[in-house]
Amino acid sequence: MEETDIKLRADGIQKKVISPGKGELSTFPDGTKVKFHYRTSLCDGTVLDDSRTMGGRSKPMELILGKKFKLPVWEQVVTTMREGEIADFTCDVKHTALYPLVSLSLRNISHGKDPLEGQRHCCGIAQVHSHHSMGHSDLDKLQANPQPLVFTLEMLEVR
């Protein structure tokens, strides 16, 4: 576990375990499906997104590892978690620059909309640097001024 923490820190990620979970740590081969709740916060504690309340309902995130999710840091950090574990991951800007786009898609999905609604057709980095509104003032601010974020994850299931 200490070796994993050292690797994470070297890559600009700090992990703080809130609740250790149970069982052995999975090997997480590609194709592993993980289900987890997430809360995304600014370093000052301001909550941006919470899977327990988005869209007025509690719906965990499901991710299949190795499928190149738009936010690679989530694939990286979930592989350090056991089922039932809750942990905070404070991530440097290099890992969070695309979060506004991911958040917009997740918010759209939680409200039954097309995940790409409100996005223009261009690569993710070009969208991050464009100056059009995403339709959410908090995401517009984060897009204009990328900053470290804290992801609080609760690992529900590993298959």
pLDDT at 20: 97
pLDDT at 124: 54
Backbone angles phi, psi at 55, to 5 degrees: 70, 15
Per-residue pLDDT tens digits of the chain, which is 159 residues long: 788 999 999 999 999 999 999 999 999 999 999 999 999 999 999 999 999 999 888 899 999 999 999 999 999 999 999 999 999 999 999 999 999 999 999 999 988 887 776 665 555 555 545 557 999 999 999 999 999 999 999 999 999
Q: How many domains does the chain have?
A: 1
Domain interval for residue 147: 2-158
Q: How far apart are CA 16 and CA 80, in angstroms?
A: 11
CATH number of the structural domain spanning residue 30: 3.10.50.40
Q: Check: CB of residue 104 under 8 Å from CB of residue 136.
A: yes
Parallel/antiparallel/unpaired status of strands 149-158 and 85-91: antiparallel
| 24-30 contact pairs (CB < 8 A, 24+) | 24/82, 25/80, 25/81, 25/82, 26/79, 26/82, 26/158, 28/65, 28/78, 28/79, 28/158, 29/65, 29/66, 30/65, 30/66
pLDDT at 57: 86
Count of helix runs (H) and strand runs (E) in the chain: 6, 6
pLDDT at 121: 55
* Whole-model pTM over 0.85: yes
